[in-house]
Structure 1
């Protein structure tokens, strides 16, 4: 529904799924294969930034085309959806990998939070649709408001993960523990949390 305002003659439902899944799966396979070499912090930040940039791009695409349909906007949306697939592969696996260094209960909470976020997103979409229900071009305005709110929260996620999350005491403790056990993927996270690392020890 959120894309239908930009695509008047081409129904995007099936096409968007076919675009999204291959990019997500291939990216996840590549990241899994190179798991021991991937910098966890950079992986997650790339995912958050891609989500932010992709959502912002949808907003700009609509503004640039004035909400008109056509093959051009449709292909643009497909490209953006492919970026969403890449971002999703970075974030979901990266965050679960992050939490796997901690308590197993954290993974359960994270997955439950994702489910709750999906429900809240649906509620937000219904609210933004209802706000402009009786106004001219209300569906498009509702989508624009929805995308603007999503863009803000995705930017907030970048900020929180980059500056706040690595400095939490519990995160610093478990990442230090993982590094002391030989993990090299958390070194950048430790540096962001103010912990200096040496080859054979962790210095707080």
Structure 2
């Protein structure tokens, strides 16, 4: 299967002006990267201002605005990147105590016909995990999206510094509990075996 690479297009003057004004008016410019005019396009969708959070840890997020330019819905079922051993499509859930946790989106990301889908810090995003190296500001990371039709599309995300939206990864907690339960069961089985062995020696 071949992978289609999104081509860059020039944004209309009105869109450029709107993005510049939005960036200037934002109160979060100290922590959130300003919007630019990077629009990459296929025959199915465009992605505007794709970027990735620069990091020296083992996970990070990819963001941007995906616009469906067709008359039919499509679903992104998976994503991948050479720099990550694991990639998931994530949603962010706000809990009753106000904290946010991330979890994998069941069924993928569906983008309705002629509508936009925003990937943003503190919201839904593409999560790259088990990174093979650090990502520095200014680096370009290629990300491949696979849709429900089986087609693959590759786009480039620019790395930028970002310090907001510190969520917790929900499955990490579940995984930890599972390991603890498994260890507890193993210890119980081991104690039971020692007890049986002791009774056998006594007989």
User: What TM-score, normalized to structure 1?
Assistant: 0.23
Higher relative contact order (CA closer than 8 Å, sequence separation 6+): 1
- Say which structure is richer in helix: 1
